[in-house]
Every structure is written in structure tokens, then in C-alpha cells.
Amino acid sequence: MKRVKQFGETVEGYNIPVLNEREIRASAGILYLVMFWSWILVIFNDNYLLLKYANTIFLADFIVRIFISPKYSPLLIIGRLIVSNQTPEYVGAAQKKFAWTIGLVLSAIIFLLLVVMNSDSLINFFVCHTCLIFLFFESAFGICLGCKFYSMFYKEKAQYCPGEICDVNAKQEIQKTSLLQIAVVIGFFAFVITTAILFNDGFGAKPTSLWFIVKSAFSI
């Protein structure tokens, strides 16, 4: 009987194939940075060149991850080099493959619409920003949104999720948020909004040379 090719790595102490979450987060951060900068150019310069390149890289890398092996993903290799001195954090490979399949589908849609057809629409906007949200949560918070959906499609429970988000655990004392802390957050945003309203005209003005301000003050 032909052996099915294993997705993920075999690590002692883990009963299922796993991947290193640290290098995955690093690669997600790289992708997020490139995609975010691409959209900045689109919004402010109406320049789609970098976005098309970014989407092509996104799609090609995910094809390698899913159909060849995560071991040979260019972005994961770069991520591995960046975090090579950090202790690995192992996560289940099955739910990561599911999450990356979602990424592959989304990037394929954008590749067809934007790169092949050279078209623009709300579909492009929503799909690209969905990818940005997924990448941001992965790189900033270590939350794999695709992994959260894994149990909706598979009977077996996902194991070794990043930060144990697949398990319902009682929060430790340091993880709890008090009403006072919530009030501080509300007060913080109230301060920012109030400051923006009061100094809106000044915020929008182009900064003046400090030397000119000092010279004007002493010439009075």
C-alpha cells in the first residue's frame, strides 16, 4: 500500500505532525508588511504594481506549502532564518494546512481578478483585506483564525493550537481584565478623540520649521 506523504514534521513528544509556530508568525509578518505597503501605494498613489507582485508571491508560496511541503516554502525558510535562535513553539500541522488552504483560495481569487484579468472591484477589496486581517492576527497576536474554523469541518479536535486557543481553559489571574482597566482603555480613547477634535486644524497643518518659529519668537 502506497504511503501518504506526511504534512508537517515529526518531533519527539508529539503524537501528530507539527510545525514551528515561530517561523510561521515571522513569515506572516513579512507577508503582512508587503501586503499592507502594497495597499498604501494603491490608496495614495493609485499604483497596483507592488500589490500584483505581492499577490503573486503570496499565491506561489502557498502552493509550495500545501502541494510540495512547508519545509520548502521560501517565506517559511526566511522566517526560520530570522527566528533560528528562538526555542520552537510546536503547533499541529493539520489545522495549519486547513488555514493555508483558505489563504490559497483567497490569493488565487485575487490573482485571477487582479493579475490575470487586471480588474478592480469590491471583491478585490474584501478578499485582500480578509487576507490582511488573517495575517495581522497571526503575526501580531499569534491567533490563527483559519485554525479556529478547523473544527467546523473536521470531526477530530485540533491539537497543539497556537496559545492553546482550541482549548477552553480557565484564565490565570494575570490574564484577567478588571473593570478599572477597561475604564482606563475607555478613558484613553476618549482622550485621543477629544484631542483630535480640539486640535484638528493643527493636526492637519503642515509643520513649520523649528528654526523659523524660534527666530520669529525672538524677533518680537
**Is the residue at 56 inside a domain?**
yes
Report phi then psi at 47, rounded to 5: -110, 115
CA distance 120 to 132: 17
**Same-domain pairing of 158 and 195:** no
* Total of domains in the chain: 2
Is the pLDDT score of 187 beyond 90?
A: yes
pLDDT recorded at residue 7: 86
**Same-domain pairing of 61 and 97:** yes
What Å distances lie between residue 104 and 56, 110, 121, 138, CA to CA? 11, 10, 20, 16
**Same-domain pairing of 202 and 100:** no
CA distance 164 to 201: 47
**Same-domain pairing of 81 and 38:** yes
H or E stretch including 143? none
pTM, two decimal places: 0.78
**pLDDT, tens digit (0-9, with 9 covering 90-100), for 61-102:** 999 999 999 999 999 999 999 999 999 999 888 889 999 999
Lowest mean pLDDT among 87-96, 114-123, 194-203: 194-203
**Same-domain pairing of 85 and 104:** yes
Q: Are 159 and 166 in contact (CB under 8 A)?
A: yes
Q: Give residue for cell 476618549.
A: 190
**Same-domain pairing of 123 and 138:** yes
**Is the residue at 75 inside a domain?**
yes
**pLDDT, tens digit (0-9, with 9 covering 90-100), for 121-172:** 999 999 999 999 999 999 998 888 888 787 777 777 767 676 666 665 667 7
**Is the residue at 1 inside a domain?**
no
**Same-domain pairing of 123 and 199:** no
**Same-domain pairing of 161 and 198:** no
Report phi then psi at 217, rounded to 5: -65, -40
Q: In which domain, by residue range, is 151 found? A: 18-173
**Same-domain pairing of 208 and 117:** no
